[in-house]
Amino acid sequence: MDIKMQAQDFIEKWGHEDGKKVKIVFFGQPGAGKSSLINELVGEKIAATSSMTDTTRQVQMIEYNEVVFVDLPGYDTSEFPANKYFTQFNPLQYDLFLCVFSGKLQQADINFFKTLKRLNRQCIFVRNKVDGLYAANKTVEEIKTEITDDVCRQLTNQVKVFFTSCRKNLPAIERGIPELQEEIILCLEPTLGDKFLRNAKAYTKSILAQKKQEAAKAINKAMIMAAGNGLNPLFGVDVGIDAKIMDIMYKRIRKMFEISEEEINTDGGKNKLVKILARGLKKDTIVKGLETLMTNEMKKKTAKYIPIIGQVTAMSLGAGTMYYLGMEYLDACYAYAQKRLEEEIKMRA
């Protein structure tokens, strides 16, 4: 295979990297806030919410990049009697379950949990609509403790209950959303947790920092893949192919931090960070960046980065250059996202 074909092959494979999506099932009574929670987790309105309790729904699959959210209809209803439920729906093919409830836990939820437990499936309990918790003679914390005790008693199991609200009167961090994101990441096996993390909205600096780590891992992996695919000596052979690889990498990094092209284009151009980010937008500037880095002076700069990816002994200057450019871009995206998040937090305070 000639180098061009190898490069194309690599790009193709990279685009379909780890085809397996992380599948997260939400179950619970209609109106509990399953769809609203899905939207909060990703920070985008991907699931339709409804104020009407509609009990005849089908299973809804919501695909969001590498994540599939499964919105189940109520268990043990007339449309889905218990005996038919598991013939139509096999829990074993899903990675994680969230039981969302807003009033009391229903018998149907309890039955479902018991089945999940038998099948060794993980389940997170979420008491949503905490904004509605109120009692004249108790604090909210006392009510929460009571709810948790109640749930544990009903399930005859010790479980942790997460308390959330999807009512946007407060910042997400005060509504339990990032805590739930962290728990989801913890419950999933690492590669799947990373996938969820990549697609979760960063409401806190902690999640943002985790995203950065994850992005660095992705760049590293891409370079190792590039080396493994014999793309080492690519530099100088065809800058166009290198630029294409960089383009994919930049896009991925931006997406992870939810930095849109419009955001970069409309920022006015004075901001230094935005200028760096804008370099990753256009083919010709990417090519220029690559060419600049390959000049003698820059070669030294790049060479410093090669030992970092030391597992790949034959790492060439080309792969090192890409690595350097990727990390530089990642730093800029991270700094930009950090600033944006700080401003968001300030504005809401």
Ligand X SMILES: Nc1nc2c(ncn2[C@@H]2O[C@H](COP(=O)(O)OP(=O)(O)O)[C@@H](O)[C@H]2O)c(=O)[nH]1
The residues that touch ligand X, with contacts defined as CB under 6 A, are 30-36, 49-51, 128-129, 131-132, 165-167
Query: Closest separation between CB of residue 218 and ligand X, Å?
Result: 32
Map tokens 């109106």 to a residue.
31
Stretch that binds Mg ion, among 26-34, 94-102, 254-262, 288-296 (CB under 5 A): 26-34
Q: Is the Cβ of residue 180 or residue 241 nearer to Mg ion in the bound state?
A: 180
The listed partner (ligand X, Mg ion, none) that binds 269, CB under 5 to 8 Å by sort, is none
Closest-by-Cβ residue to ligand X is 33
Q: How far is the CB of 31 from ligand X (least distance, A)?
A: 4
Number of residues that bind Mg ion (CB under 5 A): 2
Question: What is the Cα–Cα distance from 185 to 219, expressed in whole angstroms?
Answer: 21
Cβ closer to ligand X: 164 or 232? 164
Locus of tokens 């083919």: 283
Site for Mg ion in 29-88 (CB under 5 A): 34-35
* Interaction of residue 204 with Mg ion, rule CB under 5 A: no
Q: Are 201 and 42 in contact (CB under 8 A)?
A: yes
The nearer residue to ligand X, 56 or 265, going by C-beta atoms, is: 56
Least distance in angstroms from the C-beta of 263 to Mg ion? 30
Residue whose entry in the numeric block shows the structure tokens 């005996």: 83
Q: Kindly state the tokens that stand for 142.
A: 């006392």
Residue 312, amino acid = V
Closest CB 244 distance from Mg ion, rounded Å = 40
Nearest-approach distance from CB 165 to ligand X, in angstroms? 4
127 versus 279: smaller Cβ distance to ligand X: 127
- Residue 87 corresponds to which amino acid? T
Please report how close the Cβ of residue 210 comes to ligand X at its closest, in angstroms: 25
Residue type, 246: M
> Which among Mg ion, ligand X, none contacts residue 229 (Cβ within 5 to 8 A by kind)?
none
In terms of DSSP H, where are the helices of the chain?
Answer: 3-15, 34-42, 82-88, 107-118, 140-155, 177-187, 190-199, 205-228, 239-256, 261-265, 272-279, 283-293, 296-303, 317-348
Q: What's the rounded Cα separation, in Å, for the pair 300 and 263? A: 33
Residue 214 binding target from ligand X, Mg ion, none, CB below 5 to 8 Å by type: none
35 vs 165 by CB, closer to Mg ion: 35
Question: In whole angstroms, what is the distance from residue 117 CA to residue 27 CA?
Answer: 15
Element (H, E) at 63: strand 60-64
